[in-house]
Structure 1
Amino acid sequence: MSRKVIFLFCALSIFSYFGVIFMVISPLSTTFYSRKYVESYPLRPPSVQWCKQQRWRSPAARGAVALVSFPGSGNTWLRYLLQQLTGIVTGSIYMDYGLRLHGFPAENVSDGSVLVVKTHESPPIEPGRFKAAVLLIRNPRDAILADYNRLHKGHIGTAPKSAFRKRSAERRSTDWSNYVATQLAAWESLHKQWLTQFPGPIHIVFYEVLVNDTRHTLQGILSFLNQTATEDEMNCTLANREGIYRRKKKYNNFDPFTRSMYDELNTVRNKVLKIVLRYQKQHSNVQKSSR
């Protein structure tokens, strides 16, 4: 083999090696969120003012608690609030480099060293993967719209109006209408699976209640997680509740949902609410009988 061939082979190997490293450490490489997510942040993003110094739990053997939600339901915002209140980092089954750069150092950590673990997936098959779960439920209309915005402009941006009018390849329907249909089915399936198949205890949180009564909702979550917080810590969290993780409403007089979409949204939402009520009734009876 000639020296020229050997040289080219070595150069190619070195290039490939460092190329892989660059992809791993680059904030533009994610396993769940698109490149647009990172690009949606300003070059110099606002710094997060934490109420407490962030730390990891110890020991890690206590077991992991899932923070379950459908995409667009406020998972990132609730993680932020919990980190503000407890000072304990929250994890995720995903590796989102954008979030890791903006206040969530435990991305891709899903063990007991973190307070809760973000997931948008079905209950895991592995027994004992999660010992308990916090299930965050948001109105499917708002969750689907929020996630559609995320796909186009990341966690804090809003999709342009043109994105809701773009036609599919068959020209028979819009990308938006197809997206609503598929995501509504996924919204129903996710909540139904966790409420009927997960063997551990579940604490149910409604996003709308979290927004309107943040204090008592957070207190309920703390109790479920066996955590405590002082009044000063709670007041600091509430004073900094917005952070940089809540999307600002851009269009005041624009509704992308049609009447038929609303009919389907209400039908599915009511089906899931019935499952929620059934779950709460069953487990309320279990708690009473165990006293």
Structure 2
Amino acid sequence: MNDTSTLTFHNGTSDDAACILSPRAALLSTVLTTFASSIISGVSSGHFVAFYTAWICWLASLRIVIVAVWQIYEAVRLRPIVGGDQFFTFLEGIPVLRWLFSDARSFNDPFFREHSGRVMDYDQGQVTALGWFGWVWAACYAPVVQTLWLVKNWDSDGSPWLFIVRGLGVGVVALPLTMDVRGRYGRALGHRLGRFAQAAFTGLATVGLAALAGLSVTELLLGVVRGALGKHYWIVALYFLIMVFWTKLAFVFASPHDEPYSAGKGGGVLAGFAMGCFGGIFVAAPAFAMMMASADKPGLAIGGYIGCESVAWWEKATAIMP
């Protein structure tokens, strides 16, 4: 009797302890996050955004943080976010940023922007259902899911590189918001529902981008602090210097603007999908390579993990939701 009770107790404990994701399965949602975000940005924002997302994504943190701070600044002043000269004026008003990016405005060549940053007219077909979907995905859905993932994995004793690739993945989600700011969507909402609705749109857009910026930087720092680079901290300094240079180029070629680039025009959706798939292969490469190199033991594959009764529903969701 005592032996049976003891066996039952140990079995229950063992089953609960076994309800963890294997190192390989733990990376699936990160692969999905980066790949799906690339496709969604291509379809909803155009092939230009998908292409530059792939070009910038591994050195994106500084850009995302700067644009997020600029949006907070404009939102606090109760000004609609339109980008273009508004953004460059903000840059030039801060001594450090003016010194780092002093010539960004002068190289703001219209060749790289169809509309050269002018305020878009929401009555001219520049507000689309796909555009709304892409904005909701990045500004509303992603911050919630990515926050849940970080809460779930905060105490993870797995590879610190998991946080590095996740931080890069969150950057892929955030980058389209730093190119097409979709101010015309807020104006369209305000035209239909009043100024409060436009203000609410600006607030949501600002909070969403700020949250993604914070999540991305936090995850990258966690990876470094937990030993992803060992004691080679000079790599962090070198990475930051390269990122500053890359951010300057990114502001030249794809600064924050209120314009649809190529989405929804002729074959724009198809071109965006194709570029999103192509770019997705590139942006998901770090997470996919790490997943393939990771062991499938100890722990469970996705199917077994989802079937564990002792795992909360939101924890299961973070394992599969991009």
TM-score normalised to the size of structure 2? 0.23
Q: Determine which structure has the larger helix proportion and give its number.
A: 2
TM-score normalised to the size of structure 1? 0.25
